[in-house]
Amino acid sequence: MSTHVTRRDFLAGSAASVALAACASAPKTPSVSTKPHGRAGVVLFQGDSITDASRSRAAAGPNTPAALGTGYPLLIASAVLRAQADRDWSFFNRGISGNRVPDLQARWAADTIALKPDVLSILIGVNDYWHMRRNTYAGTAADYEAGLAALLGGTREALPSVRLIIMEPFVLPIGSVDMTWFPAFDERRAIARRIADRTGATFVSLHDAIMAEATRTRADRWLGDGVHPTPAGHALIAERWRTAAAI
């Protein structure tokens, strides 16, 4: 909740009076501003189903609600665009359910580089581990590390001034996940952090914060099946992203 309600309510009242007075005297002239504002940049969210979050695949411009999905990308975009309405932020979501690092690599030129993001946020890794456990993928932890490093190295070459944000993979031991995932899964978390450090990316730590909330309340209130965030989980992730990114 905002702490600016009193001030905003005051401004709303006074500005609306001015606007409505303008309506009365010149009814065919829009009283609302159409002036241009400062550029902020293109923010692109990449990842798997957690990022995808049922987004529409229909062609759409930036900041389109259905194209942003129902997860943390929409929550971040809504909050930033509301707080910084005088800046030209353009938010895109290109997460695809089921993706692992090699899937990102295969579609990177078209789905990432071509969009020329100023800020590129990546959440990838849970499927790299999960699919290996299910024997539907042969990727090891070393493959995850080498693949992610190569992906980011190539990105830096293609987009020298891009700001990189790496989000930490997370799970909770309920639903699709149990305690046999640990400590192997923690290695993937450590790799994501190491790659972020090496590439100068901003790292968004998530796993410990989600585990702490799950311990305090109930795990299924944050990740319904141990993998996919609830609305509350997405809100927690969005909060931590904004704090880490300072956007």
Q: Per-residue x/- marks for a copy of itself, 41-60, CB under 8 A?
A: ------------xx-x----
Q: Please list every residue from 197 through 226 that binds a copy of itself, using CB under 8 A.
A: 207-209, 211-222
Nearer of residues 91 and 144 to a copy of itself, judged by Cβ: 91
The residue from 40, 81, 113, 190 that contacts a copy of itself (CB under 8 A) is 81
In the complex, what is the shortest distance from the CB of residue 153 to a copy of itself, in angstroms, rounded to a whole number?
30
Q: Please list every residue from 6 through 35 that binds a copy of itself, using CB under 8 A.
A: 8-9, 11-16, 18-20, 23-24, 27-35
In the complex, what is the shortest distance from the CB of residue 38 to a copy of itself, in angstroms, rounded to a whole number?
11
What is the C-alpha separation between 144 and 165, in angstroms, rounded? 17
What is the C-alpha separation between 117 and 46, in angstroms, rounded? 11
In the complex, what is the shortest distance from the CB of residue 218 to a copy of itself, in angstroms, rounded to a whole number?
5
Query: Does residue 2 interact with a copy of itself by CB under 8 A?
Result: yes
What is the C-alpha separation between 132 and 111, in angstroms, rounded? 25
Q: Please list every residue from 103 through 142 that binds a copy of itself, using CB under 8 A.
A: none
Measured between alpha carbons, how far apart are the two ends of the chain, in Å? 18
Nearer of residues 58 and 138 to a copy of itself, judged by Cβ: 58
The residue from 60, 63, 97, 156 that contacts a copy of itself (CB under 8 A) is 63
Nearer of residues 196 and 244 to a copy of itself, judged by Cβ: 244
Number of residues this chain uses to bind a copy of itself (CB under 8 A) = 80
Tokens of 61: 């411009």
Q: Please list every residue from 159 through 188 that binds a copy of itself, using CB under 8 A.
A: 172-174, 178-180, 182-183
Angle at the Cα of 172 (from 167 to 174), degrees rounded to 5? 150
Asked whether the beta carbons of 190 and 198 are under 8 A apart, the reply is no
The residue from 25, 57, 82, 138 that contacts a copy of itself (CB under 8 A) is 82
In the complex, what is the shortest distance from the CB of residue 110 to a copy of itself, in angstroms, rounded to a whole number?
24
Report the SS3 class of residue 93.
Answer: strand
What is the C-alpha separation between 108 and 111, in angstroms, rounded? 5
Strands 87-93 and 163-167: unpaired
- Residue 117: Cβ-neighbour burial (10 angstroms; 0-12, 13-18, 19+): buried
The residue from 60, 70, 103, 141 that contacts a copy of itself (CB under 8 A) is 70
Reference 40, options 80, 76, 70, 12; nearest CA is: 80
- Residue 78: Cβ-neighbour burial (10 angstroms; 0-12, 13-18, 19+): middle
